[in-house]
Structure 1
Amino acid sequence: MNLLILGATGRTGRRLTELALEGGHHVTAFVRDQGKLNIQHEHLSVIQGNATDRDDVLQAFAVSKPDAVLSALSTDKGTVLTDSMPHIIEAMQSHGVRRILTIGTAGILNSRTEPGKYRYESNESQRALTRASDEHRRAFEMLAASDLDWTVVCPTHLTDDPEEGTYRVERDYLPEDAKKVSVGDTARFTYSQLNSDEYLRARVGIAT
């Protein structure tokens, strides 16, 4: 399978790239800084560009010809997600690509305590700043409004702890008593959904 990975230089994106290569896929990493991706593999191609630039995104799709997309783009303390998502959706629709897996945040899952609200809007959230969650929410809502086959994996506090394989997942909600989850477990679960329709067009909360 040809995979296009966005955000491959981040913690989760890097592990997703490694898993995809280990799985025998042909991977194209679309990155802003080619020098930050210190992975070399015969099945890895790297395209340097900006995900917020429409022409760069369309070119990445034209060159990579992906069967599926994995995005670990972060907010980058700005509007990267909301600026890039329209271009990603357009490129996928133009090239007939349907499957996309993205990394979100637990804040955009449903609130258990205040039905009808996102977690970050409810009393479940202890964060004073909501800018990043707002970005993730808008990007999620763009995907939800599209006709694509999307899954948004929403980890709670991400750590660099070793991959355990004992994580818990739940559709549209964060598993109860969630405290943290490792980057490795988050990437492993995300990768496992590549050929699964179990959580098609759904958010998935993940925690250990």
Structure 2
Amino acid sequence: MHILMLGATGRVGSHMLERALNDNHRVTALVRNTDKVQIESRNLKVLEGNVCINSDIRNAAVGVDTVVSALGTDGGTTLSESIPSVIKAMEDEGIKRIITIGTAGILNSRTEAGMLRYQSNESKRKTTRAAQEHHKVYELLEKSPLDWTIVCPTYLPDGEYTGEYRIERDFLPENGEMISVPDTAEFAYSQIAENRYIKSRVGIAY
């Protein structure tokens, strides 16, 4: 399989990149700074570019089977600015599958029907800016014809790999308070070969 990976140098993305290469997948990583890619492989093609530039995304998507986005909010609007270009490039190339890393804030609230967690009294964040960015991505993917899955971790320390966690469609598992980066990466990576959570958000926590 040929995977386009966005956010490959980030905390979750770097773990997913390593897993993909260990499984002998071909990976094209679109990054802002190629020096930050610390892994070498004959199956890895690193392209320097900007996810917010249409031509960079278009070039990176050529010949790809699946897109994985572990992009963060980076204090700006990278997510909401880039996703329209990603969706368009995927449609143009006939790519259907995309897995993205979101946030538990865009899962459904258990306490306030019809609201997302970040909009409800479940939210413990002082600011909702990051959740609003992820919400825009969710809305655009939901309107698209793509087979998308948004993996939504709660508090995300680096932590250790355990391989044991709870998942739930559209909600955060009850009393879930945290999930490590390696465990989040494992579950998100597993979705490349799975179709159980197509067109769904998935909450993940211990």
TM range, smaller chain: over 0.9
Report how far residue 195 of structure 1 moved: 1.5
Question: What is the TM-score with the length of structure 2 in the denominator?
Answer: 0.99
> Does residue 39 of structure 1 match 2:39?
yes
Normalization by structure 1: what TM-score?
0.98
Q: Which runs of 4+ in 1 moved over 3 A?
A: none
Equivalent in the alignment of 1:205: 203
1:94 aligns with 2:77: no
> Gapped runs of 5+ residues in structure 2?
none
Aligned length in residues:
206
Q: Cα distance, 1:83 vs. partner?
A: 0.4
Determine the structure 2 residue equivalent to 1:152. 150
In structure 2, the residue matched to 1:12 is 12
Q: CA RMSD in A?
A: 0.6
Looking at structure 2, the residues matched to 186 and 41 of structure 1 have their Cα atoms a distance apart, in angstroms, of 23
Q: Name 2:116's counterpart in structure 1.
A: 118
Report deviation, 1:135: 0.3
Work out the percentage of aligned pairs sharing the same amino acid: 52
Alpha-carbon displacement from aligned partner over 1:16-64 (angstroms, at most 9, x marks no partner): 10010111101111101101111111111100100011111111113xx
Q: Return the letter of the residue paired with 1:94.
A: D
Q: Could you tell me how far 1:128 is from its partner in structure 2?
A: 1.6
- Whole-Å separation in 2 of the counterparts to 1:128 and 1:186: 24
What do the CA deviations read for 1:140-170 (whole angstroms, capped 9, x no partner)?
A: 1100000000000000011111110111000
Matching residue within 136, 145, 155 for 1:138: 136
In structure 1, runs of 5+ residues without a counterpart are none
- Partner residue of 2:55? 55
Which moved further from structure 2: 97-106 or 188-197?
188-197
Equivalent in the alignment of 1:186? 184
